[in-house]
Amino acid sequence: MTEKKTVPMRSEHPEPAQRWQDSAAMGAPEEAPAAAANLARPELYINRELSLLEFNSRVLEQAKDEATPLLERLIFLSISCSNLDEFFEVRVAGLIQRMELGTIQTEPDRMAPQELLSAISARAHSLVAEQYRVLNAILLPLLERQSIRFIRRAHWNPSQQAWLHQYFEEELLPILSPMGLDPAHPFPRILNKSLNFIASLSGKDAFGRDIRLAIVQAPRALPRIIQLPQGVTDSGPHDFVFLSSVIHAYVDELFHGMKVRGCYQFRVTRNSDMYLDEEEIEDLLQAVEGELTSRNYGDEVRLEVAGNCPESIVDFLLGRFGLTRDRLYQVEGPVNLSRMRQVYDLIDRPDLKYPPFIPGCPSPLTGNKDLFEAIRNQDFLLHHPFESFVPVIELIRQAAQDPLVMAIKQTLYRTGPNSLIVDALVKAAQAGKEVTVVIELRARFDEKANISLATRLQMAGVQVVYGIVGYKTHAKMLLILRREGKQLCYYLHLGTGNYHPRTAKLYTDYCLLTADRDLGEDVRRVFVQLTSLGKMSKLHKLLQSPFTLHKALLSKIERETLHAKSGRPARIIIKVNSVVEPQLIQALYRASMAGVEIKMIVRGICCLRPGIAGISETIEVRSIIGRFLEHSRVYVFENGGEPEVYGSSADLMDRNMFRRVEICFPIENKKLSERVRNDLEVYLQNDGQAWLLQSDGVYRRLVSDRQAQSILLDELKKPI
């Protein structure tokens, strides 16, 4: 094993470190007795928006990693770009809106909105510049060495020019609708994140008028990357041309009799968050549908333009969209790099991709015609994607066909298209079973798909509810009620991730399959609460937000604190996507001050500062960025030598604790709980793909030849 060491991240944003240094200079004590420490001091917290940007920078680092297969590096680049799009659509847009409304800033770090927007702008501009440097200086040359070429207009040979000209005339020209700008042709509405071109013209139009500018909008149906056919153009099998290059090359044919002096691509990012007036909502489905109509034309938050666009045209566009210079991003390449991911599926080069694998599966669940018997005999814990998601689908399929199954109750947040789970639920309803599905219509950017899903299920006779207005239903749970003799038996699937077969191959998640009656009764009561809107009755084992989860986590952290003070074993391991909620952070600080060892695996946002003398010295925070997206939420409490292990749908965020319906379920089987703890130790002891958060807010990459995801994959996958 390579000796562990740390290396600084290549592009670091100094703001969090500077704020910490400034606060220390102002007299903030580096060490403080537990009783005297003010744990609400803003310098003890990292800003969540800046933390999210740093996560995206870590994703981009994977695109630079020479140990990552080349086409996978292209995927990481595109992910960093799509992540940044969503950051502007939701986080920046919300911040701007709060500032315009004069909303008081309540984040623990106490950064003023304008100060934060300036910091975001500086970091985001640096991140975008690095994205295009990675594309132009690193990935494109490496791809070309592998005979994968993105051919620029200047390098088209005559046969390529001929084919692309024909392609333009047959496939693009009939669809494109150029719009000259004059009083009768005002500036058109620009769709969120759509590809557009602004053309500078000279000459007279057909009516003898001077038209100086025109807009060309590229419909979303058009492919952004065009693969040149082998044999037609003497090209290799993997030669590509950007749609923008083709439009640039032949844009003059859209303006017959006029001269195109310049053509420049641009893209606008808009506020895409949904705002529903909860007091006015009578029908949630109709309200969401209404919001979807206007989402693509929300307020502008960012303008991206070609790097060679003249200043006069840049100023014109900024004026049209009401944006200031700090929201302008001039780029050296296509304005939407997230579209680069479509190339991955067009290239059959296994040597440039991660090696395929077959997920493992416990033998009792493999090919079993009676999964109910298997689950009745023992609990099962599946760790996706290392282990297969198929048993979950098969369980629902068997439930749909089994005459002993009386009812199926399930939550659905994201399912993906052509879901086999949805097919099974439809068949179950058609077979006369009582099927209840709680669909979260407001799953961000899946709203349209979930509306279609709800409609399909309702037409099949499924009882569909949309959760509770004001509280997203984010819990992942399935309850099957089966009549066995004189007894009604409970079969459960409880998970940390969605019922989405595709993401189950890409995201790490745990799921528990059990016939535990107390857990089953708890889940039944949660479903009753979601459908009847009655008061929540007491649960046996399950923790649920917004009712008991937050208090229970605080209590368990405090229990570890008391164990440490009493000299008993005290340790906490937390694996989540985000750490934001200030009361839980303060509880962890107090636990650390009492000597509790705290290990945290936090993929994305982390507002907690580890390693502060006298405050968080015993807290370690690491982020794992690798082949699979780390998505599982796990909480482990040493409890004086009697460990408790929980899986959950909830992160340590305000929204998960107070504004969502979440569950946190115990993994009580000793063998399974030990397995979870062993998995977590794999993440904590193998540093490849790990980043360690410093007290100044900077992440440092750990260097090792041992990667946790690879180790788990080797242990759990099925031999090929």
Token couple for 141 = 């040359």
pLDDT of residue 205: 63
pLDDT of residue 350: 96
**622 with 693: CB under 8 angstroms?**
yes
**48 with 119: CB under 8 angstroms?**
no
SS (H, E, C) 9-47: CCCCCCHHHHHHHHHHHCCCCCCCCCCCCCCCCHHHECC
Kindly report, residue by residue over 233-270, the tens digit of the pLDDT. 777 889 999 999 999 999 999 988 889 999 999 999 99
Kindly report, residue by residue over 474-500, the tens digit of the pLDDT. 999 999 999 999 999 999 999 999 999
Burial code (b: 16+ CB inside 10 Å, e: under 16) for 373-393 equals: ebbeeebbbbbbbbbbbbbbb
**Whole-angstrom Cα distance, residue 472 to residue 220?**
30
Of 103, 133, 163, which residue sits at a domain end?
Answer: 133
Of 133, 158, 193, which residue sits at a domain end?
Answer: 133
Q: How many residues does the chain have?
A: 720
- The structural domain count of the chain equals 4
Residue in the block written with tokens 């489905």: 285
Residue 223 has pLDDT above 60, yes or no: yes
Exposure of 298 in the CB half-sphere (CA atoms within 13 A): 23
Residue 25 lies in a domain: no
- 192 φ, ψ (degrees, to nearest 5): -55, 125
Residue 170 lies in a domain: yes
pLDDT of residue 485: 93
Residue 35 has pLDDT above 80, yes or no: no
Q: Which band of pLDDT confidence, cut at 50, 70 and 90, is reported for residue 104? A: low
Residue 10 has pLDDT above 60, yes or no: no
Burial code (b: 16+ CB inside 10 Å, e: under 16) for 522-534 equals: bbbbbbebbeeee
Residue 110 lies in a domain: yes
Closest by CA to 181, choosing from 218, 216, 215, is 215
pLDDT of residue 208: 58
pLDDT of residue 226: 94
pLDDT of residue 718: 87
Q: What is the mean pLDDT of residues 60-64?
A: 97
Token couple for 315 = 């100023």
The domain spanning residue 171 has which CATH number?
3.30.1840.10
Of 537, 572, 594, which residue sits at a domain end?
Answer: 537
Q: Which band of pLDDT confidence, cut at 50, 70 and 90, is reported for residue 292? A: low
**Whole-angstrom Cα distance, residue 623 to residue 701?**
9
- Is residue 524 domain-shared with residue 551, that is, in the same domain? no
- Is residue 454 domain-shared with residue 500, that is, in the same domain? yes
Closest by CA to 244, choosing from 327, 181, 183, 308, is 308
Token couple for 354 = 């991660």
- Is residue 62 domain-shared with residue 157, that is, in the same domain? no
Least confident range from 197-211, 655-669, 693-707: namely: 197-211
pLDDT of residue 278: 52
pLDDT of residue 668: 97
Least confident range from 105-119, 141-155, 587-601: namely: 105-119
Q: What is the mean pLDDT of residues 182-209?
A: 81
Residue 184 has pLDDT above 70, yes or no: no
pLDDT of residue 287: 54
Ramachandran bin of 697, using left for φ above 0, alpha for ψ from -120 to 50, beta for the remaining angles: left
- Is residue 454 domain-shared with residue 431, that is, in the same domain? yes
Q: Which band of pLDDT confidence, cut at 50, 70 and 90, is reported for residue 27? A: very low
**378 with 363: CB under 8 angstroms?**
no
- Is residue 194 domain-shared with residue 328, that is, in the same domain? yes
- Is residue 411 domain-shared with residue 452, that is, in the same domain? yes
CA angle 217, 259, 179 (to 5 degrees): 25
Q: What is the mean pLDDT of residues 601-614?
A: 97
Residue 271 has pLDDT above 70, yes or no: yes
Closest by CA to 380, choosing from 678, 644, 714, 672, is 672
pLDDT of residue 672: 98
The domain spanning residue 555 has which CATH number?
3.30.870.10
Q: What is the mean pLDDT of residues 29-56?
A: 80
- 511 φ, ψ (degrees, to nearest 5): -140, 145
- Is residue 167 domain-shared with residue 289, that is, in the same domain? yes
Could you count the other beta carbons within 10 Å of the beta carbon of residue 403? Answer: 10
Q: Which band of pLDDT confidence, cut at 50, 70 and 90, is reported for residue 206? A: low
Residue 431 lies in a domain: yes
pTM: 0.90
pLDDT of residue 256: 83
Q: Which band of pLDDT confidence, cut at 50, 70 and 90, is reported for residue 584? A: very high
Q: Which band of pLDDT confidence, cut at 50, 70 and 90, is reported for residue 100? A: confident
pLDDT of residue 454: 85
- Is residue 307 domain-shared with residue 432, that is, in the same domain? no
The domain spanning residue 71 has which CATH number?
1.20.58.310
Biggest CA–CA distance in the chain, Å, is 90
Q: Which band of pLDDT confidence, cut at 50, 70 and 90, is reported for residue 470? A: confident
pLDDT of residue 532: 85
Least confident range from 30-44, 128-142, 619-633: namely: 30-44
Q: Which band of pLDDT confidence, cut at 50, 70 and 90, is reported for residue 693? A: very high
pLDDT of residue 234: 72
- Is residue 549 domain-shared with residue 682, that is, in the same domain? yes
Residue in the block written with tokens 């094993």: 1
Q: Which helix (H) or strand (E) holds 238?
A: none
Residue 401 lies in a domain: yes
pLDDT of residue 164: 95
Per the annotation, the verdict on 474 as an active-site residue is yes
Token couple for 397 = 């399929």
Q: Which band of pLDDT confidence, cut at 50, 70 and 90, is reported for residue 78? A: very high
Residue 143 lies in a domain: no
Report how far apart, in Å, the C-alpha atoms of 379 and of each of 314, 448, 496, 540, 677 are.
62, 36, 16, 18, 17
What CA dihedral angle connects 606, 607, 608 and 609, to 10 degrees? Answer: 100
Residue 333 has pLDDT above 50, yes or no: yes
Residue in the block written with tokens 């070309």: 144
Residue 356 lies in a domain: no
pLDDT of residue 102: 77
Residue in the block written with tokens 């979601």: 530
Residue 333 lies in a domain: yes
Q: What is the mean pLDDT of residues 77-86?
A: 96
- Is residue 304 domain-shared with residue 229, that is, in the same domain? yes
pLDDT of residue 480: 98
Domain containing 508 equals 363-537
Q: Are strands 5-8 and 699-703 parallel, antiparallel or unpaired?
A: antiparallel
Q: What is the mean pLDDT of residues 536-544?
A: 91
- Is residue 223 domain-shared with residue 370, that is, in the same domain? no
**What is the rounded average pLDDT for all residues in the chain?**
89
Determine which one of 474, 493, 500, 563 is catalytic. Answer: 474
- Is residue 340 domain-shared with residue 443, that is, in the same domain? no
